[in-house]
Amino acid sequence: MKSFFRMSYPYLLWMAIFIVAPMVMILLYAFTRSGNSMLTFQFTLEHFANFFTDPTFMRVLWTSLRIAFLTTVFCILIGYPAALFIANLPERRQTMMVLLLTLPMWINMLLKTYAWRGILMNFDLESEIKVFIGMVYDFLPYMIIQIHTSIAKMDRELLTAAQDLGANRWKSFTKVTLPLSVPGIISGITLVFLPAVSSFVIPKLLGGGDYVLIGNLIEIYFLTAGDWNFGSAISLIMAVIIIVSMWATKKLDRSAQED
């Protein structure tokens, strides 16, 4: 048992260096004033107060939540019929369709976003619409795969039993397929909403610099303004939003399984 535990030492060291240490630094910067020496920290909450009292920052936060919510909704509306269609195919064709679906995920997001930038520059669209198209394209496969997994694992005998009891296709879908696929929908929401709300590459490239989300705001304060204290405060606010979102989706998943 001790030998197995020793095998985890490299992973624990990796986590300490690349996860725990950066989070500690963000917490330290977020609650201290800029220009502190290493031995004389001056703790403050002014960074959080400035964020929540400035209408510009609150508008950016609201825009980030809104675009992430719309992206998630459209991914569900597009992804659920696609996942249902794939799940009803023969098993060999399902494997091929899932493979084709995951192929774009093997390509770097930056390259895909640049490709969409070249396509959308030929159309006179608002920056928000371009960003929305890019987000839906990038995150849609995650939604489809999660829903497809839930539907594919469903016991088909339940649909046969529903039809034997007189249920038509719509009734079988609403009473059997849809409830059993709710865990997949919730998992898809987690995989789409969380990266969408914190995305900064897609808004930066497709928005043309005119469309700023919370991820871009963090990048600006860290790399351009050099204000690591305020940037860390925004990062911490974003982390809290993500944690709350994960808690809410987990609670929904648990209640769905109990029902």
pLDDT tens string 85-144:
999 888 888 889 988 888 888 888 888 999 999 899 888 888 899 999 999 999 999 999
Of 81 and 105, the one with more pLDDT = 81
**pLDDT of 1 above 60:** no
pLDDT value at position 2?
Answer: 59
Work out whether the CA dihedral 12, 15, 20, 21 comes out positive or negative.
positive
| CA separation for the pair 235, 26 (Å, rounded) | 8
pLDDT value at position 37?
Answer: 52
Which residue bears the tokens 């995989």?
A: 191
Residues 64-92 have a mean pLDDT of: 93
Q: Facing residues of 32 across strands?
A: 43
The pLDDT tens digits of the residues spanning 127-163 come to: 899 999 999 999 999 999 999 999 988 887 787 787 7
Residues 219-233 have a mean pLDDT of: 88
The pLDDT tens digits of the residues spanning 162-211 come to: 777 777 888 888 888 888 888 899 999 999 999 999 888 899 899 877 78
- Tokens describing residue 155: 């016991």
pLDDT value at position 256?
Answer: 63
**pLDDT of 233 above 70:** yes
pLDDT value at position 165?
Answer: 76
Q: Could you give the percent of the chain with pLDDT greater than 90?
A: 35
pLDDT value at position 38?
Answer: 53
pLDDT value at position 6?
Answer: 72
Ordered domains of the chain (ranges, CATH): 56-258 (1.10.3720.10)
Q: Is 199 strand, coil or helix?
A: coil
pLDDT value at position 177?
Answer: 85
**pLDDT of 3 above 70:** no
**pLDDT of 59 above 70:** yes
pLDDT value at position 258?
Answer: 62
Number of Cβ within a 10 Å radius of residue 177:
19
What is the DSSP annotation of 21-88? HHHHHHHHHHTB-TT--SS---B--HHHHHHHH-HHHHHHHHHHHHHHHHHHHHHHHHHHHHHHHHHT
**pLDDT of 74 above 70:** yes
Of 68 and 122, the one with more pLDDT = 68
Q: Chain-wide mean pLDDT for the chain? A: 86
The pLDDT tens digits of the residues spanning 4-49 come to: 667 777 888 888 888 888 888 888 888 888 765 555 677 888 999 9
**pLDDT of 82 above 90:** yes
